Amino acid sequence: MNSANPLLHHEQLIDYARVRIEHLQPAIEQIIADNHSAIDVIIEQQRNLPTWDDLVLAVDALDARLNNTLYSIAPLLLRGGEWQQAASVCWDLAQAFFVQKRQNTELLALYERLAVSPHGLNLDWQSKAALQRTFRTYRLSGAHLTVAQRVKLMALEQQISDLQNAFYDNLGRSSDSWSLHIVDEQRLRGLPIVNRSAMAAAAQAKGLGGWLIVLEEASCLAVIEHAQDRDLREQVYRAYLQRGASQESAFDNGQVFQALADARQEKAQLLGFDDFVQFNLQRREGAAAQQVRAFLTDLTRQTQPGLQQERQQLQDFAQQQGLPSIEPWDVAYLRKQLRNTPLALSEDEVRACFSLDTVIKALVDLARQLFGLVLTEVRSIPTWDPGVRAFEVEQDHALLGYLYIDAIGREGKQADSAWTYYVCNRHIDAEGRYHKAAAALFTSIVPAQDGDPPLLSHLDLRKVFHEFGHCLHHLLVRTSNYHLSDVQNLGPGGFEVAGKLFERWCWSAEYLAAISSHYLTGAALTVPAIQTFLGQLQAQEQPKLAVELAKSLFDLDLHGKADDGRSVVQRVADSFVSAGAWPLADFERPLHAFDHLVAGYDAGYFGYLWADVYAFDLFSRFEQEGLLNPSTGRALHADLFALGAARPVQVGVEAFLKRPLSAAPFLRWYGLSEV
């Protein structure tokens, strides 16, 4: 088996055409076994005189081999069924290995001995930074605990993993159990064509006529924001805002969140922290908990006047429309209607000018203009699905790595999702060999319909540009150390900066007009037309900011005060009130589907807002010097992206700006007070 297993014998990129289900688990098990044996040899050989090459780089090479294989397998989860089961087993095996490795006290002692040796004291600053990161990782993984305490920690880790799986099971169960079959097209008045087409396709897939609404973001938000039929809006809103909720505690994600918070709290205290917030900020190199809470409190204060004004405007507008009171399912619809003008572009008109091919060409051009990157599509690179596109990435005639773009929604992908896999980290091994980076971009764009190509809404554009920013960040790192090249080590605010920054181009009317092209005629949108369209969207962003604040406050509250006796439902309600978001009705469970808290953003969701402040300020320099200015792009690369996780992101941001960070651009765009 092993000699024929393509996951064990490859240069860098996997030949997916040769991979079978039976290859997955044996490959990961073999690599883990090899790693255990290699670590034993390293400990024995390095015991007297540990060195950088034979200790640090040797162990990094083991990590790289396992991670590269694991993240190459990860896209196979999307095939569902037995593939998903096998890939999930691989993930669990690898994570268990890494937990065990980071608790290896003999290995940690060698790192510590190296750091204080003459050899270690003469290392360059990046190598010393890598060593300090290693010490922190081992401490936060429990290497300093007693054997009994480590056994307890392993049990808590398993409990947390089981609860995270339960969250997804509950969310999937509740989402799959509801759908609404529409036979009267009049009920869909006001909905964009693309959403009606998707609903018709969903019905056809079930052997039904008419239209089928399922609990997916695009369809549900289209109904809630656009449907003229108020009863339809209510039906969909009630179902969508109760995903993950159940009267049975075992199936209720509120109960899951509480159990998760309790287990995480116990884990943090076992590791010597007061609460999980303190632990996670230390683990991710974030700011101090007090600084984070002060940031959110200040931002909350600044949003209140605008939110109160908007609420009064909606109430006045509702009365004009003959609504004596505003129900929850009216709010988003009224916001759309209040700011709608007869001459405004419709969402269908905008979408028609951004086919997937047009957008990918724009991304390739943007990377070339800003960073001198050349992205060349190579059809001979094997992929995990025929719809995936693969690119070689070059800069200054040197091959940096590879980019996969898996953009189209299909069975197995969570609808409306978008994410990035960092398949391989750039690094140089002990023999001086250069290992190239590889990243994979995933979105769930609605497939081609009725002969039309896949077309992107403005939200789709923002998701694609966001994930492309993550990929570029990864590909542009210039550190030679495997772990310093991992941009995920930048902490909650730092990790999201690149994604948030690249979203800003989607809010430039000049840029969007320049890349737009109607899929039938080739005609471009005009700047004034797009400015009006973007102005309408921007006016709705402040209420969305309030919801993001509520999520961040809930996250910190849950993980900072897990045992104060309040229920998750009460915590959510408190967070919405504190953030000034629209008050919740008794039936609403808006955060029971909050999957970020089981996907790595627990006690760190505030990072999205933190990164937004960075991104707006970074983008202000592009606004001043030109959105496609290559000198500005090269400066961004040199000052922020190139050093990966070798230094805090704020240092890089301020080096690029040549001044201290300012929240003013962020506040101005949202119409908030700077006082």
Residue 471: C-alpha distances to residues 405, 457, 581, 625, 641 (Å):
10, 21, 33, 24, 11
pLDDT in tens, 379-407: 999 999 999 999 999 999 999 999 999 99
- Given a contact cutoff of 8 angstroms between Cβ atoms, the answer to whether 391 and 402 are in contact is yes
Structural contact between residues 58 and 111, judged by C-beta atoms closer than 8 angstroms:
no
Domains 249-339+542-605 and 351-539+608-669 share a fold: yes
Q: Give the count of alpha carbons within 13 A of 536, CB side only.
A: 21
What does the alpha-carbon distance between residue 33 and residue 27 come to, in Å, rounded to a whole number? 10
**Token code pair at residue 78:** 């999307």
Mean pLDDT of the chain: 93
How do beta strands 398-408 and 437-445 pair?
parallel
Q: pLDDT tens-digit profile of 652-667?
A: 999 999 999 999 999 9
Element (H, E) at 629: none
Residue 399 pairs in a beta bridge with 394
**What pLDDT does residue 672 have?**
83
Q: What's the mean pLDDT in 314-337?
A: 92
Residue range 593-624, pLDDT digits in tens: 999 999 888 999 999 999 999 999 999 999 99
Q: Which pLDDT belongs to residue 107?
A: 96
Specify the 3-state DSSP secondary structure of 637: helix
Name 425's bridge partners.
none
Nearest-angstrom CA–CA distance, 396 and 394: 7
Q: What is the mean pLDDT of residues 11-24?
A: 92
Whether 362 shows a pLDDT value over 70: the answer reads: yes
The string of DSSP codes covering 372-391 is: -EEEEE-TTS--SSTT-EEE
pTM: 0.93
Domain 2-144 classification at class level:
mainly alpha
- Region 179-202 average pLDDT: 93
Residue pair 441/404 in contact (Cβ under 8 Å)? The answer is yes
What was the pLDDT predicted at 466? 98
Backbone φ, ψ for residue 501 (5° rounding): -65, -45
Q: What residue segments make up the domains of the chain, in order of their start?
A: 2-144, 178-240, 249-339+542-605, 351-539+608-669
Mean pLDDT of 322-330: 92
What average pLDDT does the segment 207-233 reach?
Answer: 94
d(CA 316, CA 285): 46
- For residues 361-368, give the mean pLDDT: 98
Percentage of the chain modeled with pLDDT above 70: 98
Distance between CA 494 and CA 481 in Å, rounded? 19
Q: How much is the average pLDDT of 135-155?
A: 93
Would you state the pLDDT for residue 288? 81
Residue type, position 39, single letter? I
Please state whether beta strands 398-408 and 434-435 pair in parallel, antiparallel, or not at all (unpaired). unpaired
What are residue 147's DSSP bridge partners? none
Checking if the pLDDT of 84 tops 70, the result is: yes
Q: Please state the φ and ψ torsions of residue 444, each to the nearest 5 degrees.
A: -130, 60
SS3 state at 327: coil
Q: Strands, E, within 409-465: which ranges?
A: 418-424, 427-428, 434-435, 437-445
Q: Give the separation between CA 465 and CA 467, rounded to whole angstroms.
A: 6
* Domain 351-539+608-669, CATH: 1.10.1370.40
Burial 535-573 (b: 16+ CB within 10 A, else e): ebbeeeebbebbbbbbbbbbbbbbbbebeeeeebbebbb
- Give the per-residue pLDDT at 615: 97
Integer Rg of the chain from CA: 25
C-beta of residue 167 within 8 angstroms of C-beta of residue 244: yes
- 119/113 Cα distance (integer angstroms): 10
Number of Cβ atoms within 10 Å of the Cβ of 249:
11
pLDDT digits (tens, 9 = 90+) for 538-593: 988 989 999 999 999 999 999 999 999 999 999 999 999 999 999 999 999 999 99
pLDDT at res. 416: 82
Question: Could you tell me the sign of the dihedral formed by the alpha carbons of 256, 262, 267, 273, in that order?
Answer: positive
Contacts of 37 (CB under 8 A, 6+ apart): none
Confidence (pLDDT) at 291: 87
pLDDT (tens digit per residue) in 149-168: 999 999 999 999 999 999 99
Which carries the bigger pLDDT value, residue 341 or residue 609?
609
In terms of phi and psi (left: phi > 0; alpha: psi -120 to 50; beta: otherwise), the region of 56 is alpha
Q: Kindly report the length of the chain.
A: 675
In percent, the amount of the chain with pLDDT more than 90 equals: 84
**Amino acid in position 579:** A
DSSP track, 286-313: ---HHHHHHHHHHHHHHHHHHHHHHHHH
Please say whether the beta carbons of 339 and 314 come within 8 A. Answer: no
The separation between the first and the last C-alpha atoms of the chain, rounded to the nearest angstrom, is 67
At 1 the pLDDT is: 47
DSSP conformation class of 53:
I
User: Do 277 and 289 contact (CB within 8 A), yes or no?
Assistant: yes
Task: For domain 249-339+542-605, give the CATH number.
Answer: 1.10.1370.10
Distance separating alpha carbons of residues 122 and 102, to the nearest angstrom: 25
Residue labelled with tokens 């056994």: 151
Instruction: Look at residue 342 in the predicted model and tell me its pLDDT.
Output: 66
